[in-house]
A and B are shown apart, each in its own frame.
Chain A
């Protein structure tokens, strides 16, 4: 007997399985077609609908039926064309006739593996709710027993050190009478004084030209005009040739990752560099997708990208999950740090970035003994990425707070907390509290923090969130023009406006950091590890982080 499925659509999904359901108002829609044209996932389409209208006029019921065919906007129930909830349709609709609505009872992940292909996406871990960082409060307020500082009146020095500081005993100084003087020949590791919030690694290629340019312009403006020394990591993908030879290079941190993309060009530009980069970051892992590599898909590898990365156009660029040449931290990693340091005559700090992990302490202990390791960046599970398997993003990784705290306390135990600065990343500003999250991590022991997703959300209105809204960075169809190489999309993004917003963000963060540190009575040095300033209303978190429980 023939199955009835063809007749009752039993093999199809209802829209209730979908994470976002389109609310379309026929009465408002002018059928202009802008929404269907702009939808990045082709989740809606123009369609026709046969309608039967019952009409009755006169004193007695004389129902009459009219059949008509009307044009409608229909949400498709193809799982590979699911509505991502970006809301671009509502943005372009002239009549406010359409809007996606989150469906909390969706069963999206049951179905999003057609063809045996696991679900991949961009964005960060889908875990809405209050993060540990946002649960931390600043509870040490100086007031009547001692005057607190005035964020508006006192001078604040919101700066941190990127680079290894020698212990005082190892400084090449000697006493000459009542003065100390430098010894003529002593190695002093390079150290940069920077703003404690950095822009983390996002590559040209992953980001569109106007997005990357906007960030870069914002960073340059902050340094040169606002005197806020923000630095920015290139991500794995090199730097534009003109930037490499410009005086602005000092605000950038070129990143080496497992694909080494762009490094041929960087090395060849060395003789023409008039400034040295702020630092070099060696990426061994990424908090958003530990153990997962990167992939810049062929259609994103246009002429500019190919040129910067030193590869042919239109080929998939895979960054393996691991550095293929790295077999041990004691030898290969140490050699890599040393040889990169050597390329710039040991005048540029070189540091690794790892994903948050239970094994971070082992890495840390090794780096603490390596005189050329300039810092350690730990990237927690709430970090974001342009492309990864959903399972890697949602289920792999380590929260940053306890990972960072463990590492800091380990350094305290060995008395090296001032030698090897720790930078924390992953979920900083996840709920828009950038300065508060950064300050909390600093009080737990971080010398600074990295942001990525936050700056895309704040400076370029990225739609992505932790309910899986949008998050299609991996497909090159970013509706905001942030993570795409398609000129039709990225021309929507104004690089100047991005730069303006970057400046807004950092100026705001500086004021807010002052507002946090002033009542705690700290202004001249960043209160790194000042954990008595923190409290939390959760006993387990308090115990784990060795801070006060407050209620």
Chain B
């Protein structure tokens, strides 16, 4: 079972905090990979918030492809970042070419375009680059979005963190999702590593998704450019979130109502029960059966955790105002936030969705059975 480590804070913190938390959960993953997605970036990126950042891995040939294509589209490089790679004893990570996080300036003719058109351009560009790298594995692109960086590599999470030089030169951000990969059904493939990102929406999950094929087939029929890939059965969680929140414009809690709808007998407990009955029918192909703990963030920095309808996976949330951890296991939380009051830790059950608004000053627990929101601490 993959291990999940997410942190949301009011101040910038190092990605190494997530990785050390994953290291405490080491028994649970086989070290087959690390994936991190950072939102609301600090450090060198703090003053580049409006510039889309292309995150990926490429060979020299891949780099030329990226440079050529981006130039042809009118993107101008604003800032380039590469991790300070460390190799040596104790770091069993195989380096593959270049690890990129390059901030670009929009093409001139896009500068005054509406936000929606810019978003479409970014997704289209990412997908085209992905396509160009698919034949020869010369490049992987994980995200192309303002104020977001995604890094993925195969190996033990701590070793990958050291490999990227995060112990001495860390990336910092206010929201970071990190996953320690446990390889299960699929061959290790970088595009299969969590977290998954699309247009400001990001999720990571543990567990298999038994409803993957119906989920995937439904999403690919929505006519949305970014609903593609699916090297992992968990990528659909991110796209379902995007579909519910971005396309349908439903408030976040309805994401839970879509993926784990209430039983008919429970609908009457909700003021919007009638609507839920309709959603349950219309979006039934997006329903999951678990076992899954889903952690994700929205474009505005809201971060959440929710469980499958049978609560078949562990998950815990705890922290102090200004910094909260959302982990698959308590030891990870202990590593990041030893100063918290443990009795206030939240272990979300089947009907809960833990929501931490931007800024991470408080935790809300939304209850699916009655639609109520509580703020435990």
A residues with CB within 8 A of B = 140, 142, 145-147, 149, 154-155, 157, 161, 165-169, 171, 173, 175, 178-182, 188, 191, 193, 412-418, 520-525, 527-532
Contact = CB atoms under 8 A, between A and B. Distances in A.
Interface in B266-286: 271-272, 274-275, 278-279, 281-285
B313 to A, nearest CB: 9
Contacts of A522: 210-211, 289
Closest 5 interchain pairs by CB? A415-B221, A521-B210, A145-B184, A525-B287, A146-B208
Contacts of B309: 524
Contacts of B310: 149, 154, 523
Contacts of A523: 289, 310
Nearest to B254: A180
Contacts of B290: 521
B214 A161 contact: no
Interface residues of B, number: 46
B213 interface: yes
Interface in B211-247: 211-214, 217-218, 220-223, 247
Nearest to A415: B221
Nearest to B249: A175
Interface of B: 1, 184-185, 207-208, 210-214, 217-218, 220-223, 247-251, 253-254, 260-261, 263-264, 271-272, 274-275, 278-279, 281-285, 287, 289-291, 309-310, 312, 371
A155 B266 CA distance: 14
Nearest to B275: A180
A182 B287 contact: no
B285 A528 contact: yes
A140 to B, nearest CB: 8
13 contacts: A146-B210, A161-B281, A166-B278, A168-B248, A179-B371, A180-B251, A181-B272, A182-B275, A418-B284, A521-B289, A524-B289, A529-B217, A530-B213
A145 to B, nearest CB: 4
A173 B272 CA distance: 10
Contact of B221 (A175, A414, A520, A530): A414
Q: Is the interface of B mostly helix, strand, loop or mixed?
A: loop
Given A521-B289, A522-B289, A524-B309, A531 B282 contact: no
Given A412-B217, A415-B221, A532-B212, A173 B275 contact: yes
- Most chain B CB atoms below 10 A, which of A157, A167, A415, A528: A415
Given A182-B274, A415-B222, A521-B289, A529 B213 contact: yes
Contacts of B279: 168, 171, 180
B250 to A, nearest CB: 6
Nearest to A173: B275
A187 to B, nearest CB: 12
Given A415-B223, A523-B310, A529-B213, 15 more contacts: A140-B210, A142-B208, A157-B263, A165-B282, A165-B284, A169-B247, A175-B251, A179-B272, A180-B279, A181-B275, A415-B220, A418-B283, A521-B291, A527-B214, A530-B213
